[in-house]
Amino acid sequence: MFSQHYFDRATLMSRRTERILLFLLDLLMICLAYLVYYMMRVRSGWYRYPIEPELYLPMLAIYVYWLLLFSFFGLYRSWYAQSRLDEIITLFRTTAAGVLVLFFVIFIDDESANPQAGIRTLIAGYWFLLFAFVSLGRLALRAAQKQLLQVGIGARNTLIVGWSVKARELCDMVLKYPALGYKVIGFVEAGKIKGGKRRRLEYKAIPLVGSSDNLSTLIEQYDVREVLVGLDSYEHDKLIHIINECNGYEVGLKMMADLYDIVSGQARISSIYGAPLIEVTPEIMKPWEESLKRIVDVIVSMLILVVGVPFWLIVAAIIKINSAGPALYRQDRVGKNGKNFKIYKFRSMVTDAETKSGPVWAAKRDPRVTSVGKIIRRLHIDEVPQFINVLRGDMSLVGPRPERAFFVEKLAAELPLYKRRLKVRPGITGWAQVKHKYDESIEDVKVKLKYDLFYIENMSWRMDLKILFNTFYVMLMGKGHT
């Protein structure tokens, strides 16, 4: 227990420290670029000003502007997610787009002041300064991080799945390049360990710690952040099981390139210093799309909750009058990466509806549903309090519906890749909800799982809009669970 707590804190501090350093470094470089630009424009004597412009307030506003823009385009993600070249390219695009906006703002502002010739062209100089300063700052930070990784500081706990020549070759490559940030803590044999549990095996002082049958337990036990798969050709049939064991955990999963045909369409090629690896189930949405998705989540949720307050209070009062018990219903659900949270709904059933039956799915004409509950379920009003979960970050407007832990474990045992639904934030509505009816049987879950996996592999801003419009249509037509 102590070691697990220690690993969690160490990982948290590493990520937190990296982000704080990035914020401070960007603050320094953005302000320095603006200061040089200000000196060129105001103090150089090239241009005349009746009144010298303010320095510090515009500098602060500019920093906030770039902070928001960098966050929006994913420049404060962990550096493990991309190479330094990818980071610089993203920075180039972000600063170019941001400076273009600033150019038009300055153009509009200067129109009333009859600006001197050539003053607007200084914005190009500002862009060069900004890009150069921030790039140099980030490259210096990455170089420092690389040096720390060389001595093992900040490396991610890693398991290698496989106990074969291929797995050992993969291990050799990882050990040869410590700057990659992989700290190999053990091998995991694909399938059951041959020869019994007492067998003690290791390679280059790295032990065989278990089998893929208990991979999820090992991920939790050792606080694993990366899983590298090195299977022989005859072990390909075990790959789906390994992927399923990793689903529901915040771990990166990479495998040898010759396994690509098994996961085609779900992977992205990366490499270990030229040795190709497959990154399985990478993030589909671009950083700006994820940022936009979250912004829309917050704005829509606040509007619905705040504007509709009088109506929601009336609904709550009617529920209380209609049947004994609280107006709001809370229940544990499993969210992104297997984290539990309390979901909120307007109560549509009698209090303690599952006291005798235990966890069961709702059914058509369910006798536990109250008379008011039938109405609010048909109109989907019972889902409104979930916008509180969206504001808190437990859920999104669009995503796979969150399920209870009891059903997650039960369904994961029957349906391969069911836990892949836990790779994304659950939603109030989803592709499965607009394409299929409520869950009433395992067959319904199988059908909806296909729709959920399709959504996860095709997540985009356009896809979310399509689902939201379809959901709005379903609500207008009054299609719901009765």
pLDDT tens digit string along 131-146? 999 999 999 998 888 8
pLDDT at 260 over 70: no
**% residues pLDDT > 70 (the chain):** 78
Confidence band (pLDDT; 50, 70, 90) for 66?
very high
Domain extent, residue 466, equals 287-476
Mean pLDDT over 242-249 rounds to: 82
What residues are paired with 226 via a beta bridge? Answer: 158, 252
If asked whether residues 131 and 201 sit together in one domain, one would say: no
If asked whether residues 184 and 136 sit together in one domain, one would say: no
**Residue 50 resides in a domain:** yes
The residue out of 280, 313, 336 marking a domain boundary is 280
Q: What is the largest CA-CA distance in the chain?
A: 87
Q: Are 461 and 293 in contact (CB under 8 A)?
A: yes
| Residue whose tokens read 């009336």 | 314
If asked whether residues 223 and 338 sit together in one domain, one would say: no
The predicted pLDDT at position 425 comes to 93
If asked whether residues 269 and 409 sit together in one domain, one would say: no
Mean pLDDT over 8-27 rounds to: 73
If asked whether residues 84 and 139 sit together in one domain, one would say: yes
Among 34-48, 356-370, 457-471, top mean pLDDT goes to 457-471
pLDDT tens digit string along 170-182? 899 888 888 888 8
If asked whether residues 374 and 416 sit together in one domain, one would say: yes
Rg (CA), the chain: 27
If asked whether residues 385 and 341 sit together in one domain, one would say: yes
Identify the weakest region by mean pLDDT among 53-67, 226-240, 378-392: 226-240
pLDDT at 343 over 60: yes
pLDDT tens digit string along 92-132? 999 999 998 888 776 665 555 555 555 667 788 899 999 99
Residue type, 300: V
Report the SS3 class of residue 52: coil
If asked whether residues 167 and 138 sit together in one domain, one would say: no
If asked whether residues 323 and 466 sit together in one domain, one would say: yes
Number of domains in the chain: 3
CA angle 297, 300, 304 (to 5 degrees): 135
If asked whether residues 226 and 367 sit together in one domain, one would say: no
Asked whether the CA dihedral 25, 29, 35, 39 is positive or negative, the reply is: positive
CA angle 142, 147, 150 (to 5 degrees): 125
Polymer length of the chain: 482
Mean pLDDT over 234-262 rounds to: 74
